[in-house]
Structure 1
Amino acid sequence: MSRGRRRLALFCLAQASLAAAPALAQSPLSAELVRRYDAPEATQGVAADEDALYAIGNSEIGRYDKASGRKTGAWSGDPAVFPHLNSCSAIGRELVCASSNYPATPMLSTVEVFDRRSLSHLRSIALGRQGGSLTWLTRRDGAWWACLANYDGKGGEPGRDHRATLLVKFDDDWRRLHVWRFPPTVLARLAPKSASGGVWGEGGLLYVTGHDAPEIYVLRAPPDGALLEHVATIAAPIEGQAIALDPSDPRRLYGVRRADRQIVAVRLPEPPTP
């Protein structure tokens, strides 16, 4: 190689290194472990209100005092009627839960509503076939926001895989108002499963978890768009599944570790700028 070409090659290598340096210097975002709670029902996710945590299982719910960790209530349902509670959200005096017939097909979904104080089952709302399995549901800006999950293989339907997962905004009559697709960068990390948990956090950002991975995806839903924007990924000591934010502290998030049958409290980093 001539001296001129060698100099040119070294210059190009130096420029490439400088361009990559800022990205390499950035520390990955991570959530700090705060506390663990033993909860044998904690296989599908967790919900939270001002005083209590709710461990969600396929056909059971356990309520735990947030301060002491003491169990204060329980509900158990017939698995034939309640085959797969996926997640719950504390809304008003109720615990509103996303439920499905997973892994059966065709995919059928319901919303199951419980009284938070007594944990008695109040009513079911049949959503029927929605083109996906209802995995999580939350309330914001006078509307319902729900994830319709799709899967590769088990629990999936022919012609669709995890890439068909949607975020849907419903009105109070369960009519679709807006639909967003998940970005490829998140879908690649969800495969072969789907989005198992989701909550709205600070700055109007959506925090989403997958089925197993110890991480949280921070997304933005553009009001006029059809594709969610991937803002950041946060490493967290949880195992996917449904999550909840503490009503009194928007940086305190609860997840689960199924292997340990525990609810895990973590401290989120400062919200990233979209």
Structure 2
Amino acid sequence: MGPVLLLAAVMAVDLPAAEVIRRYPAEEARQGVAADARHLYAVDNSRIGKYDKATGAKVGAWSGDPDRFPHINACVMVKAELVCAASNYPDVPMTSSVEVFDPRRMVHLRSIPLGQQSGSLTWVEWRDGAWWATFANYDGRGGEPGRGHQYTRFVRFDSQWRATGGWSFPAAVTARFAPMSSSGGAWARDGRLYVTGHDHAELYVLALPKGGATLDHLATIPAAIEGQAIAFDPGSPRVLYGISRARREIVALRLPPVEPR
């Protein structure tokens, strides 16, 4: 028998709370936020508001047909385009699409229909020449029989939206998603993945595993954002934006450092 390689379990740590450094009133702050160098984009199903980062003033908006765009959940800036995760939530069977916008003119450019996947697309990211997407599953409203919140999946696609890998979320994290799912996520510059649920005021720091198909849970950070979609500031690697649905605000946070594993 050959040598046996033992993989040490990753133990998550609790970190200090993220520091609130600014709040921006934004009427569309119901699903999430995206960011570029100068602007913030508040997302609300079939509406997106564009806000000046320096002044907080609203400088643009897009509004779509709610029947065609019932649930745009999260957006990210990729190569000067605003790329958004969308679905037919809470209708079933679940169908998903990626909706692409011109952030300068705030107009819709095109749709990438993904159809029926392993859940409902809630957020998407671009990194290392690949698309990374989370497909949510729910215990109740919007869910499908036999697939509860534990079935939420993180999937890697190539540039043509062909799946090239997939991971489950750790049980300790999906327990915090329940009965909903992951509503937001963003890659940090250090290669870690920061993820939110739907309601809890905390961030989960994850990493691709060195073996197996379940993401590693590195840390949990309390944060005043009540879950929902998030975005890193492109100019400040430890500044992250989230939203407060209750207060209709975009919240700027400074994250505590996460020690190398």
1:111 corresponding residue in structure 2? 98
Contact 1:88 1:136 in 2 (8 A): yes
Rg (Cα) greater in structure: 1
Distance (whole Å) between structure 1 residues aligned to residue 196 and residue 66 of structure 2: 25
SS at match of 2:150: helix
1:138 aligns with 2:125: yes
SS at match of 1:260: coil
Q: 1:64 maps to what in 2?
A: 51
Shift of 1:44: 0.3
Which string of whole-angstrom CA distances, capped at 9 and with x for unpartnered residues, describes residues 10-45 of structure 1? Answer: xxxxxxxxxxxxx9xx87421001000000001000
Distance 2:159 2:120 in 1: 19
1:45 correspondence with 2:32: yes
Shift of 1:224: 4.5
1:235 aligned partner: 222
CA distance in 2, matches of 1:202, 1:141: 11
Q: Could you list the runs of 5+ residues in structure 1 that have no partner in the other structure? A: 1-22
Secondary structure of 1:104's counterpart equals coil
Matched residues, number: 250
After superposition, the Cα gap between the structure-2 partners of 1:63 and 1:224, relative to the gap in structure 1 and judged at 3 Å, is: same
Of 57, 60, 67, 1:80 maps to: 67
Q: Structure 2 counterpart of 1:260, which letter?
A: R
Counterpart amino acid of residue 33 in structure 2:
V
Tell me which residue corresponds to 1:262: 249
Deviations 1:135-193 (A, max 9, x none): 00010000000000100011000110000000000011111111000001101111001
Matched to 1:71, the amino acid is K
Secondary structure of 2:246's match?
helix
2:88–2:96 CA contact under 8 A, matched in 1: yes
1:150 aligns with 2:137: yes
Secondary structure of the residue aligned to 2:176 is helix
Aligned match of 2:111: 124
Q: Where do 4+ consecutive residues of structure 1 move more than 3 Å? A: none
Distance 1:269 1:230 in 2: 16
Structure 1: distance between partners of 2:246 and 2:212: 38
Q: Contact 1:231 / 1:272 at 8 angstroms: preserved in 2?
A: no
Q: How many angstroms apart in 1 are the aligned matches of 2:252 and 2:118?
A: 33
Residue number in structure 2 paired with 1:197: 184
CA contact (8 A) 1:111 1:124 kept: yes
Q: Distance in 2 between matches of 1:93 and 1:187?
A: 33
The DSSP-based 3-state class of the residue aligned with 1:225 is coil
Asked if the contact 1:232–1:272 (Cα under 8 Å) also holds between the matched residues in 2, the reply is no
Deviation of the 1:116 alpha carbon: 1.1
SS of 1:219's equivalent in the other structure is strand
Provide TM-score, normalisation by structure 2. 0.93
The 3 A distance-change label for structure 1 pair 172 and 224 is: farther
Deviations 1:23-80 (A, max 9, x none): 9xx8742100100000000100000000000000010000000000011100000000
Q: Which has the higher helix share?
A: 1
**1:223 CA drift (Å):** 5.4
After superposition, residues 11-30 of structure 1 pair within 5 angstroms as 28-30=15-17
Matched, 1:222 2:209: yes
| Among 160, 164, 167, the residue aligned to 2:147 | 160
Structure 2 residue matching 1:125: 3-state secondary structure: strand
Structure-1 separation of matches of 2:153 and 2:176: 15
Deviations 1:237-266 (A, max 9, x none): 111000000000010000000011100000
